[in-house]
Amino acid sequence: MRDFLLLVLLLSGIPLRGFAQKPQPPNVLMICVDDMNDFIGGMGHPDALTPNLDKLIRNGALFTNAQCQSPMCSPSRAAIMTGLRPSTTGIYGFIDDNLVKETNEATRKTVFMHQYFKDSGYYTMGIGKIFHEHAPDGLLDESGGRVNGFGPSPAQPFHWKKKGTSTDWGAFPEKDEQMPDYLSAQWAVERLNRTYDKPFFLTVGFLRPHVPWYVPQKWFDLYNPDKLTLPPYLKADREDLPAIALDIDELSMMPTTEWAIENKQWKNIMQGYLASLSFVDHYIGEVLNALEKSPHAKNTIVVLWSDHGYRLGEKGTFAKVCLWDRATKAPLIFSGPGIPQNTKIDAPVELFSIYPTLTDLCGLNSAKNLEARSLYPLLKQPKAKWFHPALSTWGRNNHTVKTREYRYIRYEDGTEELYLVKKDPNEWENVAYQKKYEKVKEELKQFLPTTNVKWAAASQYNVNDYFRKQKREQSEETPQK
């Protein structure tokens, strides 16, 4: 009857006084950045020039202790898009975007984040790296295209020529316009200048600062390598680690910290990373400035995240892929209507909580079959008590539990690491085998996943003997359904 009366009034031209129209749900602008750690000015780095990220932090809420669910692009992004842990999906390594949905029963039951918003009446758009490559075919209403490599490369690498990685650093190419991230930003800016008859969900996936650390010379010129601050490093750091930790972290294709010291390249690597970070900060800024000038500015939720952190000499190497904080911690920022400004939230949280948090912020019904927990309560009350630890997984049955006080790592063979977060933020002293911490470990063990499915057949990671052996041995088990 109400809808009939509204129609009569509309046709008659009578003002709709007393008939409050339901406000349109907020739009969503999601910006995902590849391999960006916390070397950001607004997160406390002394050298980083990141004015646009810093402004977004001032305008919103920064989670300073956000932990990825796996320290590599593909499994981390699969977790974010499905709301499921790697230990539930078996996605521990690379996987084709089009194969994620049919990985196992759990992934078949869940609904991808973008599909859920589409089903809820949103117009979905995206460009660049969202899942591992771009997005499953047909998921987006409008696609700007997949990632084809990480941008132009010189005929020969500048410094690092080992196979198995695109790691290298140097000023290249000549112009920003030659970079994929430039094109992604322009595509997104054009979409923000449009008008829409329904709420939109726009995702922009930026590539830098993923290796190779190639950006034009003007971005390198922002940093004098001789004046850069190097990350904390302890040469004997790895001496108290269990053997399996060393096996997992055997990365012969990557530069080691000792190599960088001996060859006087550490500060040059830092220059390359920070130059790449300032480059992508600029194009993030172009997108955010377009939103600010658009008619959508006051009704758009912005969420910016990186898929994991990155080691720049800490723990002996230049890489992600480990269960220590330098690889598992990543930036996570929310801003927009209803979100507190200039707020930092220190509670340990999980990146794959982005999905249920966005549905809450947009006033949608909660999606079913998710393992992720919404961060909406913390956005409403940033100082509220938070009793939930953050979990990360690297390979099958290797997990870390992060709380405010501890980082606990347990490997598939039962060996352990334990770090006192406040006393030892660099995680240099493994106290797992000190008797006085037995009770602490028992309490933290209660949070480990009880489900640890075998590697999904379509998920691959053949970087070293450990992962090749784990995948081979577990592929001989009864196939999962």
Question: Which residues carry out catalysis?
Answer: 73, 132
Residue type, 384: A
Stretch (H or E) spanning 433:
none
Which contiguous run of DSSP H or E holds residue 303?
A: strand 300-306
- Return d(Cα 181, Cα 152) in angstroms, integer: 12
With a CB cutoff of 8 Å and minimum separation 6, the contacts of 259 are: 265
Q: Are 40 and 48 in contact (CB under 8 A)?
A: yes
Conformation bin of residue 56: beta by default, left when phi > 0, alpha when psi is -120 to 50 = alpha
316, 318, 210, 315: which is closest to 255 by C-alpha? 318
- For residue 174, give the H/E element and its range: none
Task: For residue 165, give the nearest of 317, 274, 393 by alpha carbon.
Answer: 317
How, if at all, do strands 123-128 and 66-67 pair? unpaired
Query: Which residues are CB-neighbours of 63 under 8 A, at least 6 positions away?
Result: 332, 333, 345, 347, 349, 375, 378
- Nearest Cα residue to 102 out of 480, 359, 369, 461: 480
Cβ atoms of residues 112 and 129 within 8 Å: no
CA max distance for the chain: 82
| Structural contact between residues 281 and 41, judged by C-beta atoms closer than 8 angstroms | no
**82 CB-near residues (< 8 Å, 6+ apart):** 89, 100, 107, 110, 112, 113, 352, 355, 370
Torsion-angle region of 338 (φ positive above 0: left; ψ -120 to 50: alpha; else: beta): left
Provide the total of helices (H) and of strands (E) in the chain, helices listed first. Answer: 16, 18
Backbone angles phi, psi at 7, to 5 degrees: -65, -45
* DSSP string across 193-258: TS--SS-EEEEEEE-TTSSSEEE-HHHHTT--GGGPPPPP--TTGGGGS-HHHHHHT--TTSPBHH
> In 3-state terms, what secondary structure has residue 102?
coil
By the 10 Å C-beta count (0-12 exposed, 13-18 middle, 19+ buried), 355 is classed as buried
